[in-house]
Amino acid sequence: NPSASHFSGAVVAKDESAFFMIPQFTNKLVRCKFRDDSMQSFGGFPTSVVDPSFFGGAVADDGGIWLAPWGASAIVRFDPAKETMDAYTFFDETGCCPGGGLRRAFAGAVNLNGAIWMCPALSRSFVRVNPSNGDFRTYSQWPEGYDVSLAAKSRSCSATGDDIWLPPYESQAHLL
């Protein structure tokens, strides 16, 4: 039933042979191959992943697909070659995302200088993941006077050079 599947975005595989549709309100990651237009779904999220809902993702230098949690209880890495998933759980009441639930919401992910960055949507932190071992670091020091409760509500992110860009979701001004 196509109406029961919701996806939040897509990423192109490192070898450019396919794209992956990122699940938001469905429990399947879907690969669409360019060569023959075939589609294959991957479920089987690790048992530590409660509510496999994601919002975008990024491709690491090694080709792994990293899914940015929307409500999911972990960051997930999909290995396209092995067709396996690994979960990296770090959310707790005192660390990155107090309160659980939508406090874990990220606006997507980017590969910046070899690290995977989870960009805040409803979270109050950026999370940098080392794709070689899954180690992470959170960043929640916002500039003085910056209202993170409103400004961190972005719904996408991109990277250029050494910068990550978060377009405003709710804004009184237009940026050119």
Residue 156 pLDDT > 90: no
Q: What three-state secondary structure class fits 117?
A: strand
d(CA 29, CA 105): 18
pLDDT score of 96? 46
Question: Angle at the Cα of 67 (from 139 to 102), degrees rounded to 5?
Answer: 60
d(CA 152, CA 108): 12
pLDDT score of 173? 47
* Summary mean pLDDT of the chain: 80
- Of 20, 7, 131, 24, nearest to 80 by C-alpha is 20
Who contacts 99 (Cβ-Cβ below 8 Å, separation ≥6)?
93
- Of 158, 35, 13, 129, nearest to 79 by C-alpha is 13
Min mean pLDDT across 8-12, 13-17, 108-112 is at 8-12
Q: pLDDT tens for residues 21-63?
A: 988 878 889 999 999 989 999 988 888 887 788 888 999 999 9
Q: Which residue has the higher pLDDT, 143 or 171?
A: 143
**CA-based max dimension of the chain:** 52
Q: pLDDT tens for residues 95-139?
A: 344 444 445 678 889 999 999 998 887 777 788 999 999 888 888
Element counts in the chain: helices (H) and strands (E): 1, 14
Whether the CB-CB separation of 120 and 106 falls below 8 Å is answered with: yes
